Amino acid sequence: MSEHDTPRRGRTGTACSRRAFVATGAAGLAAVAGCLGDSGGDSGGDGGDESRDGGLPDGVPYVEDPPEAVYVPSHRDPFLMQSPVTAGDYALLPHFSYPHRFWLVDGGETEEVLPTLDDSLHLMVAFWDRQTGELLPVDAGATLSVSRDGDPVETVAPWPMLSQTMGFHFGDNIPLPDDGTYTVDVTVNPIEAVRKTGGFAGRFEETRTATFEFEWTDDRRRTLVEDIEYLEEDQRGKPGALEPMHHGEMATGNGDTNGGGMDMSDMPSPSLRPAAAYPGTDLGVHESGDVAFVVRYLEDSRLATGDGGYLFVSPRTPYNRLPLPEMSLSLSLPDGVVQLGQTLDDELGMHYGGTVALSAGTQFDLVVDGPPQVARHRGYETAFLDMPPMTVEVDQ
Amino acid sequence: MGLPDSEMPRRQYLRGLVATGGAAALAACLEVPGSGTDVPQGDPGSRPARQHAWNDALPTDEDGNVRRPNHHALLALDLTTEPDRAASERVESAFRSLERAYAHDVAGLLFTVSYTPAYFETVGAESPVPDPEPLTSVEGEIALDGFHALVHLASDDPAVVLEAEQALLGGASEPNGVQMAADLAAVFERADPRRTGFVGSGLPVEQAEERGVDLPDELPDEAPFLMGFRSGLRESQAPEERVTIQQGPYAGGTTTHVESLSLNLRQWFEQNDQQLRIAEILSPHHAEDDVGETGEELGTSTGVFPDIADRTAADASTRGIVGHAQKTARAREDGTPLLLRRDINTLDGDRPGVHFLAHQREIADYVRARQAMAGEDLDGVGQRLNNGLLQYIFVRRRGNFVTPPRDLRALPGTDA
């Protein structure tokens, strides 16, 4: 296990400690949560985490001094699901929960984001390709425009995020001024920053917008708080992860319906295929920073762009095989360095790859230049940061 | 027309009126003792030949950076008549009247008159600038300026901005005590949108408080821009010569692009800390001590050119984060920036935003700089995530303009 000390910087000026504590209305969810759960209080363990001084993290007990690895959090969150909506080739699944603590990643550091008392809910959108059912775990620069009766409430680019139960999604804590019916326009922009191959070449080049509505009421806040499922204390903080939700079991709450002609069972699993499902020469499954890297070499591949074959790398979380986008990977070969590109392929899914000529006996390092920059929900904030190179060898 | 019954200091009250606009705001403004008085009158004969030559009239800050005027309005106009010689003379006469009314100074009035491709199409002439279009993949369906002309009015005195606007539209016949020989009313009518803005230390917080717009507490009281940091430092601004058209019918003029953006300041201030804000607005190589709370330690330079700009692609792939300034500094020519920024903060519609107004020799220069800022060529950062300021800005509208030299500012491209 790595000895890397993860820097954690609480955000400046924690609103919880400075603002009036409002226990009712849309702003009061953190307060309700705080009343129902042990709010944590003293940070104990590692100390030095000023952000906890307000005594109101997101209102539920948390694992103090977690291991520097993927770990089981103290609880499983309930979600209120909406019906999926469509936007061109994209299918979008909106869902929400109470305002969450999460961690942004910039470079090799994390930055803890605490909900403020203005935040009403944590709004999330998962999205996938309707034609193939493939997940699209990339930063498509999506935007959420929240309005009420035509009046704008908030426009935000939600963070690309990873949670143990939902996998990759976009999300953020959103402040709402009051209870009521809200309209959300979700805009997904062309996917330009990653390579698109196979049936995905030339696709996802249009801006698409879908709209959904939701009610924000006292009942819904109560559901979100009362349905929190606490794990046994002896499980919390142990290496492991909550099961990812699969279709059929996702709707734990009574979501609104939008009449979009789809139901939640269309949502693909948030997990990647098992290692054995990929083609090519097996170069092993390697581990770094608690990430499993499936490495394959595909000779004569349609994916190669020059002389040589295609080196395929699929990094995934341990336990539940969730994809890890926005990572920088390279190969350190005897004759130079090759950057791997994040790639979306309709048959192989999201992976990293590059063209390289390998022969039996070749040894190289798989180098993580930048860890996955996606924001992390609880249980992932201490993993996937310090990631030493891995040595890969092509068998004789 | 009196002041509302309030304890609001006069200075604050006046500043908010530019956003309100109209004759009533102007009347309220002028009834306040000390406002709109002691405004220096001017001499049209002493105005420079380039409309965009403002720098000699602008003060500099303690570091030597040119300081923009405090208050601005961007007045959109549509033609209401077939342009002819009489119309052209009337328009020129209106602008000359303004020049007599106000000195070429921040205490007086600085202004430019610019024309869109839609104008040139209407008058049957070839447009020297292309139609506006979305420039990056994350813009989606944005509005594109299709009105005919744009007048950018700027002054440190909000009453001057309001009065000049009213005078052009026929609502004030003697601005600053000088008779208007003509106005634009027989040739142009007001079009949408009316845009306003402000720049200056302390103005963002002051304006927001006055209008009841809720901004994050983390925005420093003295910040000159809504994102908290100084911008437009001398070293990252194109000289006026670099943005001046060199040949052709509009030689001596410039082009103007206006990109209107809205900002998500909640994420920017409440979810990031100062070090991350600095990494995203400048570069991951800048330390808090080098920058200061609002950029006061930067002097006249962001310090990104050339070394940190050269490291942009490497920072994306190895650090997973790049800064706005380092990305945009990649679009320089022999070390000289391409754009002369005269962007302004705005609270139009009671939402925080920026009207990013820039002059450049040709619109292609703007496109080059904007695409460098988009960083779509960079591996290791997202389309927005950790990619400078792109997480927090939302493009709403774009417009392209030619800003002719002063002697061609009245209905250019017509036989008149």
Written in H, E and C, the secondary structure of chain A is CCCCCCCEEECCCCHHHHCCCCCCCHHHHHHHHHHHCCCCCCCCCCCCCHHHHHCCCCCCCCCCCCCCCCECCCEECCCEECCCEEECCEEEEEEEECCCCEEEEECCEEEEECCCCCEEEEEEEEEEECCCCCECCCCCCCEEEEEECCEEEEEECCEEEEECCCEEEEEEEEECCCCEEEEEEEEECCCCCCEEEHHHCCCCCCCEEEEEEEEECHHHHHHHHHCCEECCCCCCCCECCCCCCCCCCCCCCCCCCCCCCCCHHHCCCCCCCCHHHCCCEEEEEEEECCEEEEEEEECCCCCCCCCCEEEEEEEECCCCCCECCCCEEEEEECCEEEEEEEEEECCCEEEEEEEECCCCCCEEEEEEEECCCCEECCCCCCCCCCCCCEEEECCC
Residue-level length of chain B: 416
Helix/strand/coil for B184:
coil
In this complex, the residue of B140, B279, B317 whose CB is nearest that of residue A106 is B279
Q: Which range among A117-121, A167-171, B100-104, B122-126 shows the weakest confidence by mean pLDDT?
A: A117-121
Token pair of A148, please?
């009420």
The CA distance from B206 to the nearest CA of chain A, in Å, is 20
Does A58 contact chain B (CB < 8 Å)? no
Q: B264 contacts in A (CB within 8 Å)? A: 154-157
Token pair of A363, please?
């040894």
Q: Are A156 and B381 inside 8 Å of each other by CB?
A: no
Nearest Cα residue to A54 out of A8, A14, A22: A14
Does A108 contact chain B (CB < 8 Å)? yes
Instruction: Give the up-direction half-sphere exposure of residue B115: CA atoms within 13 A in the CB hemisphere.
Output: 26
- Residues A216-251 have pLDDT tens digits of 998 998 888 888 888 999 999 999 999 998 654 444
Place of tokens 């000026």: A13
Q: B275 contacts in A (CB within 8 Å)? A: 9
ipTM of the complex: 0.86
d(CA B367, CA B393) in angstroms, rounded, equals 17
> Given this model, what pLDDT does residue B82 score?
92
pLDDT band at residue B415 using 50, 70 and 90 as cut-offs: low
Residues A173 and A284 in one domain: no
Substitution target from A16, A123, A369, A386 for chain B, most B beta carbons within 10 A:
A369
> Given this model, what pLDDT does residue A22 score?
26
The CA distance from A107 to the nearest CA of chain B, in Å, is 5
The answer to whether position A2 is within a domain reads: no
Please identify, among A248, A266, A284, the residue that sits at the C-terminal boundary of a domain: A266
Place of tokens 């170069």: A283
Q: Which range among A369-373, A377-381, B33-37, B243-247 shows the weakest confidence by mean pLDDT?
A: B33-37
Q: Does residue B121 register a pLDDT over 80?
A: yes
Bridge partners of B232, per DSSP, are: none
Q: A386 contacts in B (CB within 8 Å)? A: none
Q: Does residue A213 register a pLDDT over 70?
A: yes
The answer to whether position A128 is within a domain reads: yes
Q: Does residue B281 register a pLDDT over 90?
A: yes
Helix/strand/coil for B143:
strand
Number of A–B residue contacts, CB under 8 Å: 134
Residues A81 and A152 in one domain: yes
Residues A163 and A126 in one domain: yes
The CA distance from A155 to the nearest CA of chain B, in Å, is 7
pLDDT (average), residues B226-245:
97
Q: Does residue A280 register a pLDDT over 60?
A: yes
H-assigned helices in B71-202: 85-101, 117-123, 158-168
The CA distance from B276 to the nearest CA of chain A, in Å, is 8
> Given this model, what pLDDT does residue A323 score?
97
Backbone angles phi, psi at A393, to 5 degrees: -130, 135
pLDDT (average), residues B273-285:
96
The answer to whether position A187 is within a domain reads: yes
The percentage of chain A sitting over the pLDDT mark of 90, rounded to a whole number, equals 66
Bridge partners of A97, per DSSP, are: A122
Q: Which range among A56-70, A235-249, B256-270, B309-323 shows the weakest confidence by mean pLDDT?
A: A56-70
Token pair of A20, please?
């009036």
CB A302 within 8 A of CB A195: no
> Given this model, what pLDDT does residue A245 score?
81
pLDDT band at residue B147 using 50, 70 and 90 as cut-offs: very high
Handedness of CA B366, B372, B373, B376 (dihedral sign): positive
Q: Are A160 and B390 inside 8 Å of each other by CB?
A: no
d(CA A242, CA A234) in angstroms, rounded, equals 14
Backbone angles phi, psi at B66, to 5 degrees: -65, 130
| Angle between the N-to-C axes of helices B158-168 and B85-101, in degrees from 0 to 180, rounded to the nearest 10 | 160
Q: A339 contacts in B (CB within 8 Å)? A: 317, 379
Number of domains in chain A: 2
Give the residue extent of every domain in chain B. 10-124+146-219
Please identify, among A247, A266, A285, the residue that sits at the C-terminal boundary of a domain: A266
In this complex, the residue of B271, B320, B392 whose CB is nearest that of residue A113 is B271
> Given this model, what pLDDT does residue B15 score?
62
- Residues B161-198 have pLDDT tens digits of 999 999 999 999 999 999 999 999 999 999 999 999 99
Q: Does residue A364 register a pLDDT over 80?
A: yes
Does B392 contact chain A (CB < 8 Å)? yes
Does A177 contact chain B (CB < 8 Å)? no
Q: Are A157 and B380 inside 8 Å of each other by CB?
A: no
CB count within 10 Å of CB B365 equals: 22
| B217: nearest CA partner in chain A | A13
- Residues A60-116 have pLDDT tens digits of 678 889 999 999 999 998 889 889 999 999 999 999 998 999 999 988 899 999 988
Residue-level length of chain A: 396
- Pairing verdict, β A375-376 and A159-163: parallel
CB A84 within 8 A of CB A92: yes
pLDDT band at residue A14 using 50, 70 and 90 as cut-offs: very low
CATH number of the domain to which A299 belongs: 2.60.40.2480
Token pair of B235, please?
């070293």
* DSSP letter (8 states) at residue B331: S
- Residues A294-317 have pLDDT tens digits of 999 999 999 999 899 999 999 999
Bridge partners of A295, per DSSP, are: A313
Interface of A with B in 299-328 (CB under 8 A): 326, 328
* DSSP letter (8 states) at residue B387: B
State how far the alpha carbon of A183 is from the alpha carbons of A42, B14, B82, B316, in Å. 39, 36, 45, 35
The answer to whether position A86 is within a domain reads: yes
Q: How far apart are the first and last CA of chain B?
A: 42
- Pairing verdict, β A119-129 and A159-163: unpaired
Q: Are B271 and A326 inside 8 Å of each other by CB?
A: no
Domain with A327 in it: 275-393
Q: A370 contacts in B (CB within 8 Å)? A: 317-320, 380
pLDDT band at residue A211 using 50, 70 and 90 as cut-offs: very high
Residues A320 and A375 in one domain: yes
Does B379 contact chain A (CB < 8 Å)? yes
Q: Which range among A218-222, B215-219, B333-337, B405-409 shows the weakest confidence by mean pLDDT?
A: A218-222
d(CA A291, CA A236) in angstroms, rounded, equals 20
- Pairing verdict, β A180-188 and A143-148: antiparallel
Please identify, among A204, A232, A266, the residue that sits at the C-terminal boundary of a domain: A266
Substitution target from B139, B142, B221, B270 for chain A, most A beta carbons within 10 A:
B270
Q: Does residue B263 register a pLDDT over 60?
A: yes
The answer to whether position A192 is within a domain reads: yes
> Given this model, what pLDDT does residue A107 score?
84
pLDDT band at residue A17 using 50, 70 and 90 as cut-offs: very low
| B112 or B3, which is more confident | B112
pLDDT (average), residues B87-116:
98
Helix/strand/coil for B158:
helix
Q: Please give the mean pLDDT across all residues of chain A.
A: 82
Nearest Cα residue to B108 out of B46, B30, B160, B177: B160
* DSSP letter (8 states) at residue B66: B
Bridge partners of B403, per DSSP, are: B254
Q: Are A9 and B275 inside 8 Å of each other by CB?
A: yes
In this complex, the residue of B138, B270, B275 whose CB is nearest that of residue A141 is B138
